[in-house]
């Protein structure tokens, strides 16, 4: 889950309610890749959710809790899991060194007998919105978030920027290195003709120069290209300090796969400050499914 409230700690982010809504949302899907579902030694919400997923018939893969948190990456699948592995990114900077960003892998056995290699990952996020978006309108008019007129945003930005500057590495540079680490992990894990799907919060704006590096690295576009429907909601109460209330309608979350994609959409849920991506893919060895038989993703989410 994510932080909420001023100073990151004073708000109620409704973990119990959102955990229940999350389970309702995913119940009609065969495979779910999750980010920022952090496990830690002082909270049981993570354990409760994974236990409920098992009770719902899912196979669950998580990562071990480190000094503070685990990676926040979780994979649940109705198909049996054959094996799993993970990588913690070596590249990191600033305050995000506290959170072990990385990628989680699970190989699930499809009804055809083929293995599908699943990867869920979470990349370094930017400290603050682009400078041109640092003006936000509040109850008392326009405030300069960067100058600290808004305690919720200004002081938070100042602190995290200081930590980032001390690391002497920009967030964009970190993400580029994390992308290379992810690609190496995928290449080591999946055989030449293996089936794979990568999904997660890459914190890379769809269509940007940074996004072009994804295409060069993996040799394919994100499933949502070229439309890149926005996946980030800066008006959510879960949005971190520095990002609240600014207009930043971009696609930060991506799915990459060598499977045939039949349908794709961004779900209008409010479980997180990031919207969920839903996709129908087809096992390459199966006969082509008629279009009339392909599930309606929006209806599946609503029916849940």
Q: Edge to edge, what strands does the sheet with 115-122 contain?
A: 81-88, 102-109, 115-122, 195-201, 253-257
∠ CA(102), CA(14), CA(152), 5° rounding?
A: 75
Pure H helices in the chain: 15-26, 45-55, 154-167, 171-189, 209-218, 297-303
Q: What whole-number distance in Å separates Cα of residue 264 and Cα of residue 221?
A: 14
pLDDT of residue 137: 41
* pLDDT score recorded for residue 153: 47
pLDDT score, position 6: 37
HSE value, Cβ hemisphere, 13 Å, CA-based, for 2: 18
**b/e sequence 151-190, b meaning 16+ C-beta within 10 Å:** ebbbebbbebbebbeebebbbbebbbbbbebbbebbeebb
Report how far residue 27's alpha carbon sits from residue 174's, in angstroms, rounded to the nearest whole number.
35
Asked if 236 and 277 touch (Cβ cutoff 8 Å), the reply is no
Contacts of 123 (CB under 8 A, 6+ apart): 101, 174, 175, 178, 179, 200, 201, 202, 203, 204
Using alpha carbons, list the distances in angstroms from residue 213 to 101, 105, 218. 20, 22, 9
Q: How many Cα atoms occupy the beta-carbon half-sphere of 229 within 13 Å? A: 13
pLDDT of residue 293: 54
- The CATH architecture that domain 6-124+174-303 belongs to is 4-Layer Sandwich (3.60)
Residue-level pLDDT, tens digit, the chain, 304 residues: 333 333 344 456 778 888 888 998 888 899 999 998 888 777 778 888 999 999 999 999 998 887 778 888 999 999 999 999 999 999 988 777 777 899 999 999 999 999 999 999 999 988 776 666 554 444 443 433 333 334 344 445 555 555 555 556 788 999 999 999 999 999 999 998 899 999 999 999 999 999 999 999 999 999 999 999 999 988 787 877 677 777 888 999 999 999 999 999 999 877 888 999 999 998 877 666 655 555 555 555 545 4
The CA–CA distances, whole Å, from 263 to 58, 204, 267, 294 equal: 23, 22, 12, 8
* pLDDT in the model for residue 171: 87
The residue behind tokens 């290379």 is: 180
Q: Residue 64 has what pLDDT?
A: 84
Q: For the chain, which residues make up each domain, given as ranges? A: 6-124+174-303
| Cross-strand partners of 75 | 33, 61
**Is the whole model's pTM more than 0.85, yes or no?**
no
Q: Beta 135-138 vs 253-257: how paired, if at all? A: unpaired
Pairing assessment for the beta strands 115-122 and 195-201 based on DSSP bridges: parallel
- How far apart CA 74 and CA 121 sit, in angstroms, is 9
């Amino acid at each position: 889950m994510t932080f909420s409230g001023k100073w990151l700690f004073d708000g109620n982010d409704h973990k119990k309610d959102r955990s229940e809504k999350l389970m309702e949302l995913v119940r009609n899907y065969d495979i779910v890749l999750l980010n920022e579902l952090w496990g830690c030694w002082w909270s049981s919400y993570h354990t409760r959710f994974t236990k409920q997923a098992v009770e719902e018939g899912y196979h669950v893969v998580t990562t071990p809790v480190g000094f503070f948190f685990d990676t926040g990456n979780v994979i649940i699948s109705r198909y049996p899991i054959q094996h799993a592995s993970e990588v913690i990114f070596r590249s990191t900077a600033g305050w995000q060194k506290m959170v072990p960003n990385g990628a989680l892998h699970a190989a699930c056995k499809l009804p055809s007998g083929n293995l599908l290699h699943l990867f869920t990952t979470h990349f370094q996020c930017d400290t603050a919105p682009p400078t041109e978006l640092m003006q936000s309108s509040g109850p008392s008019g326009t405030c300069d978030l960067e100058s600290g007129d808004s305690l919720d945003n200004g002081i938070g930005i100042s602190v995290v920027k200081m930590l980032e500057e001390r690391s002497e590495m920009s967030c964009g540079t970190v993400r580029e290195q994390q992308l290379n680490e992810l690609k190496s992990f995928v290449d080591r894990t999946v055989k030449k003709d293996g089936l794979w799907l990568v999904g997660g919060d890459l914190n890379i704006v769809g269509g940007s120069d940074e996004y072009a590096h994804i295409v060069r690295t993996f040799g394919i576009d994100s499933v949502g290209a070229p439309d890149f429907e926005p996946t980030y909601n800066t008006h959510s109460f879960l949005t971190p300090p520095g990002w609240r209330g600014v207009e930043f309608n971009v696609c930060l979350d991506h799915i990459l796969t060598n499977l045939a994609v039949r349908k794709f959409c961004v779900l209008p849920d409010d479980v997180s400050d990031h919207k969920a991506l839903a996709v129908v893919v087809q096992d390459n060895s199966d006969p082509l499914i008629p279009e009339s038989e392909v599930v309606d993703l929006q209806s599946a989410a609503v029916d849940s």
